[in-house]
Structure 1
Amino acid sequence: MLALTSVWTTILLAAAVALGPLATDMYLPALPQIGSDFSTGTDQVQLTLSLYMLGFALAQLICGPLADRFGRKPIMIGGFLLFALASVGCALATNIETLMLCRFLQALGGSAGPVLGRAAIRDIYTPREAARIMAILASIMALAPAIAPTIGGFMVSGLGWASIFIVLAGYALVMAVVVTFGIPEPMRPEYRQPLRLCSLLRNYRTIATDISFLGYTLTNALIFSGLFAFLSGSSFVLIDFLGVEPEHFGLFFACIVVGYVTGNLTAVRLGSQLVPDQILVRGLTVAVVGGSIMAGLAIAEIHTVWSVILPQALFMVGVGMVLPQTMAGAMANFPHMAGSASALFGFTQMAVAAIAGALVGHLHDGTSLVMATIIAASAAAALASYLILVQRHPAAGFESQPASTR
């Protein structure tokens, strides 16, 4: 077993959390082909993404409290096994309805990695340390969306879209073995919560009525919905509208990931000089600028690959700065129920993202306009949430002065 604070434990937790992004990013190049194979429209194909996000959101409300009672490891392992089984079902699907159902089941299992990975970080580190570790973890995780669409594009071209789900099933099985034998249980025994409905509801009420939790969570969910709007619409915009080949889709997607990693590393570097509040406002400002540029170009009917990719890369710099701070801030007040706090945080994040994704699919007009407008609106709403809630109600002990200035 590895030490909880070792760099390899952080890497393994990142690999566990990366299962969620992999399940969306790897099959993005396949969406147009899935629609063609099943003779269905963009809105129906896009629902396989939104239903995944909905299942992901709902499952977190269950696996978080279960993890607070039984520990992080057993719930995470069970989630990986369910994910693997559902992934095989996706590969064998013969119609869009079956694929939707299996994607929903896949999400139920896949939610365990991200929600319990966040909780484990909070178990191991203090709130300020957790923000730094989550930024590092996010940078490691960025390898998944950097390479997943490229791999997925080549698999679609050479082996068909079903092969993507077979690979995802294998990844989940490997992670189940790695977590079983490689990572100690991070949860302190004294933090175990009783698994009773009244206790569960009381915990959720305590968390949901904490204004600082609501502020960080809503800011995170809104900025993440801009990211998910891009995930939902990018394959249709780049492949169908702008003529990018599926096998080249991942190369352009990698530019987006570079922006995200840049934001993560900037947050890590600034973490020793600035308080999270200062990092947040800088990241949100960058995201608003990026989203506004993309929307402006789309309104002006400037339709090129780079008029989408470059503004989105700038938007992702802001996302990379914002997400780690809001994750750590949301859970800062709840070390004794980190699983439930992470679950409610994740539910809100995924529910808002699912709405944004559904809007992209439903309103898609064949150009980049709808996607770009929703991305810009998400960034502006996130900034408003920060100004109204986070800035006025920061988490106690989280927004204190950085170590270098104390």
Structure 2
Amino acid sequence: MFLNNKTAPHLLTLILMSGMSVMSMSVFLPSLPSMTEFFKTDYALMQLSISLYLACTAIVQLVAGPLSDYFGRRRVVLSALIILIFATIGCYLSKSIETFLFFRILQASIATLMVISKAIVRDMASPEKAASMLGYVTMGMSVAPMIAPSIGGLFETYYNWQATFLFVIILSFGLFLLCWFDLGETNKEKNKSLREQVSEYPILFASRRFWGYAFAAAFSTGTFFAFLGGAPFVGSKVFNLSPATMGVLFGLPALGFFGGNFLTGKFSMRIGIDRMILLGTIAQIFGMGMSLIISILGFGTAFTFFGFCIFIGIGNGLTLANSTAGMLSIRPSVAGTASGIGGAIQIGGGSALATLAGFLLSNSEGAYALQIIMFLSALMGFICILYVMRRTKVVMSNDKEV
């Protein structure tokens, strides 16, 4: 029932929870060049607002999962939103890069919602149905990164970067009210002691399939995080695009993500989660490979670079919900922990790739470095899911999780 905090949350609430965690990551990207000038710093230091945020997001996910298993989903979500509101106010008022980065790090608390929204779905559904449901949730969630850079670009063009953070403050407060009135507790095992929870961790950690799913998702999302770290530089310095134009083009991977998640929701129960992940990694390899080849041949433009990045989104749409369902199915009683660890691996790897992309691009004149990073990340995701499929055959033949 909608707006009843004694029952499981409405699908719309889960979509907005997940969407907010993504929006806060990407909404200000078109403003990075002007923020670099405002704070009188260089792009490499300003880019830390992405890589440090991602690194702290990884840590938050490690903590948020177990906390939600113990205290319950509702309490942890509401606490994270309060921190986000105050951190965003701090970003809005910042006058120095040091102050901004401090509050930007605190904004990473919103990653809690990314973890817990997935755990809530697993609380409510079986693995196969969870993959389908997560597909629809993340399909709706994909609207956020699709429109967030465009909104940020418009604020930057007609106002300033502070207007973007004021927008996030208003949205955060609205989401807090929605969760207060609609988010009921779904973790029925939250009364387990931490000792009891920890006793189940070795079974989870011993599963090779768990780590295979986690790293398949990490390398798949790594293509997107490398894009986040390097695309602002490529757009502004290599292709000389305006903030408004960059905002629109940044939405192309999210458009692909929308389509990929639609396919996940439609076909995961029929095709199976492993084969859906495999198809997602193949889509990314194709897109990044074609983008790199066209650039090497000398035909690369802003539209070919950003256009082929649609395949990043399609691949993530096919990969993430299915790999998450796979991770959470290994040990459902510690779904929050599994979601947190998997998310931490994804975001931690993404942070490293975003930092690497920013560093390499600051010392190059083209987009080649970024394209190579995204291609190799997609290739590694393909290798990981092949390993999972091989291990699944072993598990089924032995009737034992290894």
Q: What TM bracket, shorter-length normalisation?
A: over 0.9
The alpha-carbon distance between structure 1 residues 267 and 7, as it changes in their structure 2 partners (threshold 3 A), is farther
1:242-269: CA deviations, max 9, x gaps?
Answer: 1221112222223322211111112222
Aligned to 1:14: 15
Alignment of 1:112-191 (within 5 A): 112-188=112-188, 190-191=189-190
Alignment of 1:185-334 (within 5 A): 185-188=185-188, 190-195=189-194, 201-334=198-331
Using the TM superposition, give the Cα deviation of residue 203 of structure 1 relative to its aligned residue in structure 2, in angstroms.
Answer: 4.4
Aligned to 1:42: 43
What is the letter of the counterpart of residue 151 of structure 1? I
Aligned to 2:360: 363
Gaps of 5+ in 2: 397-402
Q: Percent identity?
A: 26
The alpha-carbon distance between structure 1 residues 315 and 112, as it changes in their structure 2 partners (threshold 3 A), is closer
The separation in 2 between residues aligned to 1:80 and 1:386, in whole angstroms, is 34
TM-score, normalized by length of structure 1? 0.91
Aligned to 2:346: 349
Using the TM superposition, give the Cα deviation of residue 275 of structure 1 relative to its aligned residue in structure 2, in angstroms.
Answer: 1.6
Using the TM superposition, give the Cα deviation of residue 34 of structure 1 relative to its aligned residue in structure 2, in angstroms.
Answer: 1.0
1:211-269: CA deviations, max 9, x gaps?
Answer: 11101010000110111111111121112321221112222223322211111112222
The separation in 2 between residues aligned to 1:204 and 1:302, in whole angstroms, is 51
The separation in 2 between residues aligned to 1:241 and 1:272, in whole angstroms, is 43
Using the TM superposition, give the Cα deviation of residue 167 of structure 1 relative to its aligned residue in structure 2, in angstroms.
Answer: 1.6
Secondary structure in 1 matching 2:47: helix
What is the letter of the counterpart of residue 105 of structure 1? L
Contact 1:146 1:253 in 2 (8 A): yes
Aligned to 2:75: 74
The alpha-carbon distance between structure 1 residues 91 and 247, as it changes in their structure 2 partners (threshold 3 A), is same
Aligned to 2:386: 387
| Runs of 4+ off more than 6 Å | 394-397
Contact 1:217 1:349 in 2 (8 A): yes
Alignment of 1:19-34 (within 5 A): 19-34=20-35
The separation in 2 between residues aligned to 1:192 and 1:217, in whole angstroms, is 27
The separation in 1 between residues aligned to 2:44 and 2:346, in whole angstroms, is 21
Contact 1:211 1:393 in 2 (8 A): no
The separation in 2 between residues aligned to 1:7 and 1:246, in whole angstroms, is 40
Gaps of 5+ in 1: 398-406
Aligned to 1:96: 97
Using the TM superposition, give the Cα deviation of residue 65 of structure 1 relative to its aligned residue in structure 2, in angstroms.
Answer: 1.2
The separation in 1 between residues aligned to 2:333 and 2:15, in whole angstroms, is 23
The alpha-carbon distance between structure 1 residues 204 and 99, as it changes in their structure 2 partners (threshold 3 A), is farther
The separation in 2 between residues aligned to 1:330 and 1:182, in whole angstroms, is 27
The separation in 2 between residues aligned to 1:313 and 1:221, in whole angstroms, is 18
The separation in 2 between residues aligned to 1:269 and 1:178, in whole angstroms, is 28
- Greater displacement, 62-71 / 245-254: 245-254
The separation in 1 between residues aligned to 2:115 and 2:393, in whole angstroms, is 22
The alpha-carbon distance between structure 1 residues 350 and 204, as it changes in their structure 2 partners (threshold 3 A), is farther
The alpha-carbon distance between structure 1 residues 395 and 12, as it changes in their structure 2 partners (threshold 3 A), is farther
Contact 1:191 1:336 in 2 (8 A): no
TM-score, normalized by length of structure 2? 0.92
The alpha-carbon distance between structure 1 residues 370 and 7, as it changes in their structure 2 partners (threshold 3 A), is farther
